[in-house]
Amino acid sequence: MSTDAPSRPSPALLFAVVGALAALIAGLVLARPDVIAIGVPLALWAAHALSVSGVDVDIEIEKRSSGDEGWVHDDILVGDGTELVDVSIIQADRRRRRVVVAGGARLRAASRALHSGPLRSVEVAARGMQVDGAQLGRPSAGIVAVHAVPPAAPRLPRMPLAPRLTGLHGSHEGTRPGQGGDFRDIHPFAPGDELRRVDWKATARAARRPGELLIRRTNALSDASAVIVMDTADDLGAMVSTWGTTDLRRSGATSLDHARSAARAIAEATVAQGDRVAFHTLALSGRSVRSGGGRRHLARVVAEIAASGRAGDDSRFRRTPPVPHGSIIHVLSVFFDGAAAEIALRWRAGGHRVIAVDVLPELDRARLSMERMLALQVLLAERHDMLRGLEESGVEVVRWDADRSAVWTALSRVRAQAVGVIR
């Protein structure tokens, strides 16, 4: 960022001019040349300072990677166009500092990331100073460095699958005839069947007329498609007294922290078993990654998850992202306003398997007044009814902070029992 700001005299220059005039007048009145000589350096310095017409400020922020977990680092690069630069720094929207450095200096800022997601690690504004601070430039517009802090993700067991898979290759037992799976049935030979699949024992035993051949058919192996949908309308901390504020130091783990952690864990576990994954947020202008597989695709998904923050003013209006046919959908939300639950019910009515992941953290009700405690109880009661309605409609509801190993293992068995496969 570079600005050529018009300069203005500083109070030090005014004092120098007044001091030089005072020494001149006193020397003339008292007939003292030595007193006049005292004001000569001040007059020369003021004349030189007034000859400076502008102060050019050049400042940039360079993001720096670091192996320190939970910390982000930035380098603030100050141009050498001025003698001194007054730099104002705000770190992580919490700490404010002001330093005066020489032109061409490099400052290093380290900020601790209390939460995952987008973090305004440092905001910098500066103004130049010339002639030992006699001329001051106007403060420049602030520039901001934003880091996407990736969430920590626990390892999940085998992921649940949709009841009906549509892929033509993969590692999961499908419901259509094909190759690679378990025994399906004995079927009369038809055009297009391979001769090597003829079951001669079954033909000799069960053929009804001469020349009839019977083949042994197996199920196809299919890949699965998972969709992660994250509701970013609310970011509620474990400390209920901080709801409605921006105090992230006392809030504890927030619902979006849990949502980002759950989204990354689901994405990594899905890709690890060879399946495809897509990621969407429900905001109107939210982030979206189309369905895909592989490590490169997983890196894109994790980057989008880390960059997903709380939605803006349009957060109460949701969009319904596209979902591939035969997908299992994970809806991550606190389920307070009902919009995410309505979309989940719409998907369930369309035949998809939907898992509602409750990412609300364990609440700390300390420092709540009687009125706020009563309001919280009403809100939680409405939320409980909403989750019960989801379960009655066939949506599977799980809490993210529960025993993940047991919960997700149980979810993965539901589809296996439906297709009659023991895993």
Separation between Cα atoms, residue 422 and residue 394, nearest integer Å = 23
pLDDT for res 362: 92
Domains defined along the chain, listed by start:
2-149 (2.60.40.10), 172-222 (no CATH), 225-418 (3.40.50.410)
The fraction of the chain above a pLDDT of 90, given in percent, is 22
* DSSP, residue by residue, 167-180: -SSSSEEEEEEEEE
pLDDT, tens digit, for every residue of 65-83?
766 677 888 888 888 777 7
pLDDT for res 233: 87
- Selected residue with higher pLDDT from 246 and 342: 342
pLDDT for res 359: 94
pLDDT for res 60: 87
Separation between Cα atoms, residue 45 and residue 66, nearest integer Å = 46
pLDDT for res 419: 39
At 278, is the pLDDT very low, low, confident or very high (cuts 50, 70, 90)? very high
At 416, is the pLDDT very low, low, confident or very high (cuts 50, 70, 90)? very low
Q: What is the pLDDT of the chain when averaged over all its residues? A: 80
At 347, is the pLDDT very low, low, confident or very high (cuts 50, 70, 90)? very high
* DSSP, residue by residue, 315-376: GGSB------TT-EEEEEE---SSHHHHHHHHHHHTT-EEEEEE-PPPPB-TT--HHHHHHH
Query: Interior CA angle at 362 toward 373 and 405, to 5°?
Result: 155
- Selected residue with higher pLDDT from 227 and 50: 227
The fraction of the chain above a pLDDT of 70, given in percent, is 77
Half-sphere exposure of 19 (CA within 13 A, CB side): 16
Burial degree of 399 (CB within 10 A; 0-12, 13-18, 19+) = middle
At 314, is the pLDDT very low, low, confident or very high (cuts 50, 70, 90)? low
Q: Kind and range of the H or E element at 224?
A: none
pLDDT for res 244: 79
- Selected residue with higher pLDDT from 163 and 405: 405
At 316, is the pLDDT very low, low, confident or very high (cuts 50, 70, 90)? low
- Selected residue with higher pLDDT from 381 and 93: 381
Can you give the pTM of this predicted structure? 0.75
Nearest partner of 243 among 154, 310, 304, 184, judged by Cα: 310
